Amino acid sequence: MSGLAAVYEDHSDSLAQHVFEEMLERISYRATDGEGVLRRDTILIGHQHLYTTPEEREEDQPLIDDGVAVALDGRIDNRTDLLAMLSIEKEGLTDTEIFLQLYIKYGVECFSKIIGPFAICIWDKKENRVVLARDKTGIRHLFYARTDHGAVICSDMHPLTVHPDVRAAVNSDVALSYLLQRQIPGKTFYTDIQAVLPGEYVSISSDNISTHRYWELEHHEHRLHTTDSLEEMLYELIHEAIKCRLRGVNPSGVMLSGGVDSTTVAGIATTMCDDLRGYSVVFDEYPAGIGFENPSVATEETERIHKAAQTFGIDTVEITGNRICPFSNEEVHEFTFADNPCHTTTQAVNNVMFQRAAADSCRILLTGHDAEYLRGTYLRIADLLRRGSIRKLIKEIVSDDAAVTTNLLNLGCYPLIADCLDATYSPAFPDQTPIPKIIGDEYNLFRELRPPTTHRFSFETLKNTRFAELFDTDINRYAKYAARRVALKNGVELRYPFSDARIVEFIVAVPAGELLQGGGAVPFIQSST
């Protein structure tokens, strides 16, 4: 699996052919193992191959059967259950073949049955439509744009601008929201380009585009369980998520940072994989101005990496980050930020790490990213301040590596300004609406910063606000998207155990009181692993 591109319009036109070929060329960096193309009626679908699972070796996507064509960038983790559901006993089917048969049998209802990361493009001849879908937690990405005669679809954003109907104009609303550290769901930095959202499918016909949710987070609390049983349940879920992500070809690796998240992944993975390899970026010291007030943080992090590698018996390759200037590699810089602004300066360092992994024939790298969102997002600061939990607030801020002023002001006070205006202005001037123009713009700005929740001053507040923006964060939209593209450029696939939808659903269902223990952290996540 790797990437896909499609043109949904009359391809007898030379323009459609040119656009399609140019789009494929622009995502050719994903084609470590070749390219496949399907031409049918009003659809052109291309797939760039990177084989990472045993079943897909020599598979030539896109696949077609019974008037349905499929191009998949993804992996299915509940293969056994789905094969039983389809009454198929044949072994060795690829994930794409399973997905194709699921759609033929269940239509768009099939997406909710899938466990695993995916972005998929389906051409349904009988229904005369194209269906796009993205996994529940948004690990894979997919974008589309309307044209005068149909639509263009791609795993990357910028190739869509090849079509003359798709403007390469900056979306000013998204740019403003980015500067405010907020997001507009489904929108991108390109005015004419939309993103398929996590847990969503998009139906495209000749005259209409409609979006539909196939998955929502639901709050079913585990009230009948003790803390010990919750720990055991969580450990089993994390164990299963890591096991699923070790299904692959060649040696597997882990990005080992020295933190509890990547160390957890490494420790569990070594019980299942004899030749697990570690890849770490270490620093003599962190550059000034990146939010770490304690200069010893870099040294302590390196020591934790060494201890974890020694404890688990992992051969680890260390990349010295201080020797790699973030912008020294112009090619990586331009490639990484073709779709998004410079949200992180680590991609040049990551590029070196991915190159080393590829040289070791390691096509799969597990990462501990996203676990921080299961312990609480930046909204926890504002939530604790709103509730008046000063002791827990202080403990939370002090324990964070970021600067105290950054946490308290930017993440605590600023999001509450709109609340203060609501509480003071409206009672004082009940007959005067809206807010006077003299403060209206600033008021609306701070409303954008405010966590999207209707539950205030309660245990539920912390939980609701955490997951309101869980899958549409800057790290997911920009940093993780950029990192995956750089990895694929080197023939490496990143896998995220903590993004497993089963783990996310479990955390949402944990009683809110448990989430608040320990100053806003989730202590049983650490104790269970």
Give strand pairing partners of 365: 253, 494
DSSP annotation of 197: P
**HSE-CB of 111 using CA atoms within 13 angstroms:** 24
DSSP annotation of 80: H
Name the 3-class secondary structure at 152.
strand
List CB contacts of 150: < 8 A, sequence separation 6 or more.
7, 8, 9, 10, 42, 204, 206
**Nearest alpha-carbon partner for 107 in 144, 79, 143, 66:** 66
Residue the block writes with tokens 């799969």: 364
Q: Is 95 annotated as a binding residue?
A: yes
Q: Is 522 annotated as a binding residue?
A: no
User: Could you give the dihedral angle defined by the CA atoms of residues 102, 104, 107 and 113, in that order, rounded to the nearest 10 degrees?
Assistant: 0
List CB contacts of 282: < 8 A, sequence separation 6 or more.
298, 301, 302, 305, 318, 319, 320, 321
For 308, the token pair is 């974890």
**Nearest alpha-carbon partner for 511 in 495, 522, 527:** 522
DSSP 37-79: EEEETTEEEEEE----SGGGTT--SSEEETTEEEEEEE--S-H
**Nearest alpha-carbon partner for 201 in 106, 105, 135, 113:** 135
Q: Is the alpha carbon torsion for 183, 110, 76, 235 positive or negative?
A: positive
Mark the binding-site residues for L-glutamine, compressed into ranges: 95
Binding residues: 95, 281
Query: Residues forming the annotated binding site for ATP?
Result: 281
